[in-house]
Structure 1
Amino acid sequence: MFADRLSACARAIQHHLDLVLGALDDVPVVRAMAHATHGGKRLRGFLVLESARLHAVEASRAIWPAAAIEALHAYSLVHDDLPCMDDDDLRRGLPTVHRKWDEATAVLAGDALQTLAFELVSHEETSPDARVRADLALRLARAGGVQGMVLGQALDIAAETTQNPLTLDQITALQRGKTGALIEWSATAGACMAGADTTALQTYARALGLAFQIADDVLDVTGDSATVGKAVGKDADAGKATFVSLLGLEAARARAADLVEEACDSLGGYGNRADTLKEAARFVVTRAH
């Protein structure tokens, strides 16, 4: 069952992160890092582990890049929550790092989580082949940097003050970086580790990432902060263009459903071995948080 598989992956990733962080000095910045890496769906790490399983890569190897992507994702959330960006008080139902500690600690904890991600993905246990580790690290740098997530974040911030609301094509391009880049890295990591073709998983991930963001926009309108675990309604209050504001609620839901089918269809070559990844795609548009 998909929910059980997702939970098992989340526990394995959490255990690995706890071991890594537990070996560090017990100082405020490390405690802040641990706080930031607790909770969440672990969808990105799950995609790493599942794509690795699909290509017969041992879980003991795949857990390193799975933990790496979750560390990088946690860094992005810590910084995204800062007053200079989204200024959020809650994340995953808990106080954000800058609220629990202070802004300086949040900045440093985010910095440390980002560099930890590259340490983990470059670890010898990720792969005996240094070229594989280097390729994963290079792809992660591109996905997390100014060609991917950081560019998407920058465009998102700029959109808050623009006089002309973004078009649907512009929002799609923005979210391909902000949300989609890390999802694409995650879903193709197993194929990279196995030296296999990434085309099908890349197609899957691009559709999945966009469906995920549309679902987020829907939750921002329909969800409540207690269930979602963070503030909702902020995009509408700020007058930001979203998939929901441009398409309407029902059309946005329909677009997300179409993307899920596109994602599932792209995995046809894997047969029923990809059923769990197909369930993951369906999960992103039915989740409540």
Structure 2
Amino acid sequence: MNANLPFSLFLLSVASSWGQESVRPSLVDVPYGPHKAQVVDVYLPKSEKPTPVMIQIHGGGWRAGSKKQVPSFLKQAVGQGWLAVVSVEYRFTDVAVHPAQTNDCLRAIQFVRSRAKEWKIDPSRLGVTGGSAGGHLSMFVATHPDLADPDSDDPVARQSSRAQCSVPFAGPSDWSLLSSIRHDHPAYRQLIGHEPGTPFAKMKEERMRSVSPLTYVSADDPPMMIVHGDADVIVPFAHAQSMFKGLKGAGVEAELLRVEGGRHNVSGAGRPEFFGPAIPFIKKHLKVE
């Protein structure tokens, strides 16, 4: 974003260009693993040189949703020619519980890097984003240690799984909060193998720690912009505050965009006041000129 352009005008400029023709995926259902759910859709820009890429992870409580859910601001960036987008499908909790979803997303990142030359993307400029469950997963993969194994016989496994930046929208970060704030949604429990309605006192602390991105925060994590509504009752704002505090405490570059009065619709990143600040953040950290 131009430092001399007031943010309100920036939002208007984004909104005014919204009537573009819909951007469609260049490649559909490209497998990155053996399970039928382990596929990606690939949105490639028209560019003569390699572009950065954002990994988009959809929401749906880890048990629903679709990789077809790609925010308009990402499609617009593809249409403008400065960004590629890869939208990830992953196994739901009716097939496998945590950490299957995280493992799928990490593998997808490695797979994308293995196709960098073919898709004309720059593997050193890769970010990750998503909303709700996808926000959780985008935080998780950003804080997860690198899975690259240079000695592997698998060319995908030799690739890095690390991102250069992360932009989670309304994602849960800290399962310990289930005891202190309202969390009625059954998906929180199903993700870690508990039946819906299981009392907090009977939930295993080890499982809750293992599924919380906050657990894995370390000083070498990539920059993160957390976007969250302070009136969200599905994923309360305390999750954003907890993650932001953890990142800053570890010395990680972090920004927290508090959407006043924003509910869980923030997770869809569908309005300029939700996604507007993310665009310059992505451009900065993926080195878009």
Determine which structure has the larger strand proportion and give its number: 2
**Could you tell me the TM-score, scaled by structure 2's length?**
0.31
**Could you tell me the TM-score, scaled by structure 1's length?**
0.31
